[in-house]
Structure 1
C-alpha cells in the first residue's frame, strides 16, 4: 500500500518515477513496455529507458518482451528483515507462541503509518494460510488489527492523528472502528490493560490478541499477536490465558533487546 502523494518539493522525479515503474511491475506481475507506460502514465520511450536502467542494475529481468522484478528484491528484503531488531530477538518467540497456542502468531512494526509484517508462524491448528501469505506481501492499515492498535496506543497522539488523517479509518467489517473518537477511546483501554483486542474487526469469524513491544523509555518498536477462529479464541482462553501468554512474550523480547543494547555499551565503554 503506497502512501498518498504528498507532492514534496524534495522529491527527485526520476527516482520517484523509477519507484512507480517497480510498483507497476509488481502490480501487473510482469508487463511489457506499453503496459508499464500506461500504468505509470509516461511515454513508451520513457518506460523503455526506465526498464532498461533497472535491468542494468539487475533489479529487473526480461523474458521475451515482458519485464519482471528480479530476485534481487528477495535478497534485499531478506537482508532488511534479518537485520531488524524485532526479527533478531522476536522470531523464536513467535515460533513458540504459534506452538503454544496452535494458531497463527505474528510480529510487526509500523513504518510510514502502516503495518509491516516482519514474521509469521503457523501453529498446528492455524487457518487462513493464503490470507496470511498475502499479508506478508503488502503493508496494511493499523486500526483494525490487534498489533496495529497496540502500536497506535503507544505512539504520540499527534502521530496517531497524522496517520488517521492520511489513511482514514477504512471499514473492513461491521466491527471495525471507523470513528476517530471511538478509536482514541479504544487506545486508552489498550494502555490500561496492556494489550489490544481484534474482535472480528478485520475478518469476520477471526479474533486476535496483540501486545506492544517497547523500549525502556516507552517508545514502541512494534507488536506481536496471536489470531484464530472465534470458535477457539473465546471464554477464559481469550480473555485471560492468551493475553497473559502474549504480554509475557512481549516482555521477554523487550528484555532481550534491552540486554543486547546494554551488552554493546559494556563492550564499548565511554571514557
Structure 2
C-alpha cells in the first residue's frame, strides 16, 4: 500500500481500508483487510472501531464481516439523488440476497420516479426455477404492489393528479377506477404493505413493503414477485421477509419503521 508523500498516514490507511470494504460485495473480514492492506492487525482493528462508532462501517448481522455503514447513505444523499440510490442499492444487496436465499424467492427494490416505479436492484432466488427481474424496468404506479405503495404514501393532491391522467389497464385485474384505487390505497396505508393480484402481468403476484427516509418520505419499495397462488402460510412468510428487509433499509436511512400487521 503506497502512502501519499505529504499526507497523513492514518488517513491514507483509512482511505484504502474503506476502498477495500466498498469493493467487497458480500463484506470483508478483519483478517482479509489485514492481508489486503499489509497493515498491522491492531491498526486495522482500531480504524474499524473508530469508523463503526461514526456509522461509516458496520458489521453484517453483528458478525465478524464488515460493510459500509449507514452514514455513507446520509453523505451520498447530499451529493445527488443518483448517488443516493446507488448507495442505497449497495447497502440493500446483501440484505436482500440473504432473504432471497432464505425463502428461495427473488427480491426487487424499486424507487419512485415521476409517475413510474424504477427497478434499481434485483436479487435472484437460488431455486432452479425462479422469476428473473430486470434492473432498469419501469411500470406505472397504479400497476403492481410497489407502485401502489408509492401512491398510498403520496398526498391526496398528488394522487388526484395521477388519476386524472388516466389509469390504463395492463391486465383484466388492473385497477382502472379512481374510487376503487383510493379504497385500495387506504387499505395499504392501514396494513403497511401492498399486494399485486395479477394486476401488472397475467399470472404474476407480488407483495411489497415501504422504505422510508429520515424525513418520513417513501423512497423505495421492497417486493417479492411470485407466480400463481400461494398458501396463506407462504404469503405470511413472504410478507414477513419483505417487511423485515424494508424495515432494515429504513433503519439504515435513519427512518421510522411501520408496525407490521
Same fold (TM over 0.5): yes
Does residue 127 in structure 1 map to residue 125 in structure 2? no
Deviation at 1:185, TM superposition (A): 0.5
Structure 2-normalised TM-score? 0.61
Determine which of 221, 231, 234 is the counterpart of 2:231.
Answer: 234
Gap change, CA 1:124 and 1:169, over 3 Å in 2: same
* Secondary structure class of the residue paired with 1:223: strand
Distance in 1 separating the partners of 2:173 and 2:199: 5
* Secondary structure class of the residue paired with 2:222: strand
Aligned to 2:45: none
Aligned to 1:150: 149
* Preserved CA contact (<8 Å) 2:120 2:136: no
Structure 1 residue ranges (4+ consecutive) displaced by more than 6 angstroms after TM superposition: none
Aligned to 1:265: none
RMSD of the alignment, in Å? Answer: 2.2
* Secondary structure class of the residue paired with 1:175: coil
Distance in 1 separating the partners of 2:163 and 2:130: 30
Q: How does 1:251-262 map to 2 (within 5 A)?
A: 251-258=247-254
Deviation at 1:85, TM superposition (A): 4.5
Deviation at 1:248, TM superposition (A): 1.4
Distance in 1 separating the partners of 2:84 and 2:155: 28
* Preserved CA contact (<8 Å) 2:85 2:120: no
Gap change, CA 1:226 and 1:138, over 3 Å in 2: closer
Aligned to 2:66: none
* Preserved CA contact (<8 Å) 1:81 1:87: no
Deviation at 1:82, TM superposition (A): 7.3
Distance in 2 separating the partners of 1:165 and 1:199: 23
Distance in 2 separating the partners of 1:173 and 1:258: 37
* Secondary structure class of the residue paired with 2:167: coil
* Preserved CA contact (<8 Å) 1:97 1:226: no
Distance in 2 separating the partners of 1:117 and 1:212: 14
Aligned to 1:100: 102
Gap change, CA 1:226 and 1:160, over 3 Å in 2: same
Aligned residues: 174
* Preserved CA contact (<8 Å) 1:98 1:104: yes
Deviation sequence 1:157-179 (CA, Å, 0-9, x none):
2112222323x212111111111
Distance in 1 separating the partners of 2:238 and 2:180: 25
* Preserved CA contact (<8 Å) 1:210 1:246: yes
* Preserved CA contact (<8 Å) 1:89 1:257: no
Gap change, CA 1:191 and 1:164, over 3 Å in 2: same
Deviation at 1:112, TM superposition (A): 1.4
Gap change, CA 1:221 and 1:83, over 3 Å in 2: closer
Gap change, CA 1:207 and 1:158, over 3 Å in 2: same
Aligned to 2:199: 201
Distance in 2 separating the partners of 1:128 and 1:81: 28
- Higher mean alpha-carbon deviation, 120-129 vs 241-250, is at 120-129
